């Protein structure tokens, strides 16, 4: 997909979520969870020395997102946004057991018999990785832009006051 059409497809996908102007990370995760009808659990992990700084595991009724525990808030949001991108695009994931080091604690914790698919945040060579990273980047820029600008369509009273005075 061309970069600009991928971008607008991501904007579209994000626009379907029920999010207020200034949404928090928790609200974002809840909105994606509501959209896909599965619980989403985000957990920090020691992923140094691993092949990825973020990982998403899909199960029947829930999604697990792991992010590198030492990541800055900015990087953490980018990782989580990327993995939420995989969830929203309903990617099947291409990560297998062979991608993990044999002594990987993370791999040992994965329930391989019930796990439906694993995606990671690694390189952006594949279409799935580009789709997830673009969506993650748009999420991040919306979060930071919203912190500086008032809503163009203020919904809550606080947003209306904000729009009047900024």
C-beta of 137 vs 151, nearer to Zn ion: 137
User: Smallest distance from the beta carbon of 62 to Zn ion, in angstroms?
Assistant: 18
Candidate residues 21, 22, 121, 142; the one interacting with Zn ion per rule CB under 5 A: 121
Size of the site for Zn ion (CB under 5 A): 4
C-beta of 68 vs 129, nearer to Zn ion: 129
User: Smallest distance from the beta carbon of 159 to Zn ion, in angstroms?
Assistant: 33
State the Cα–Cα distance between residues 45 and 43, nearest whole angstrom. 6
User: Smallest distance from the beta carbon of 123 to Zn ion, in angstroms?
Assistant: 9
C-beta of 63 vs 129, nearer to Zn ion: 129
For Zn ion, which stretch binds (CB under 5 A), given 34-42, 63-71, 131-139, 146-154? 131-139
User: Token pair for residue 62?
Assistant: 């829930």
Neighbours of 132 (CB within 10 A): 28
C-beta of 22 vs 57, nearer to Zn ion: 57
Helices (H) and strands (E) in the chain, counts: 6, 4
Candidate residues 32, 118, 132, 139; the one interacting with Zn ion per rule CB under 5 A: 132
C-beta of 23 vs 89, nearer to Zn ion: 89
Is 91 a binder of Zn ion (CB under 5 A)? no
DSSP sequence for 88-156: HTT------GGGS-TT-HHHHHS-TTT--EEEE-----SHHHHHHHHHHHHHHHHHHHHHHS--SS--S
Asked if residue 98 lies in contact with residue 156, where contact means CB atoms within 8 angstroms, the answer is no
3-state class (DSSP) for residue 45: strand
Which residues contribute to the site for Zn ion (CB under 5 A)? 119, 121, 129, 132
């Amino acid at each position: 997909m061309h970069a600009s059409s991928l971008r607008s497809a991501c904007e579209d996908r994000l626009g379907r979520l029920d999010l207020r102007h200034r949404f928090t990370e928790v609200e974002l995760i809840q909105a994606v969870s509501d959209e896909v009808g599965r619980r989403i659990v985000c957990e920090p992990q020691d992923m140094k020395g691993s092949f990825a700084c973020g990982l998403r595991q899909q199960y029947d009724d829930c999604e697990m997102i792991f992010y590198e525990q030492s990541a800055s808030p900015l990087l953490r949001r980018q990782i989580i946004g990327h993995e939420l991108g995989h969830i929203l695009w309903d990617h099947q994931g291409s990560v297998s057991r062979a991608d993990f080091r044999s002594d990987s604690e993370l791999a040992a914790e994965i329930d391989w018999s019930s796990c439906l698919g694993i995606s990671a945040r690694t390189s952006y060579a594949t279409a799935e990785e580009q789709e997830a990273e673009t969506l993650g980047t748009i999420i991040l820029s919306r979060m930071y832009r919203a912190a500086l600008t008032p809503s163009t369509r203020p919904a809550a009273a606080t947003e209306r006051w904000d729009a009047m005075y900024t």
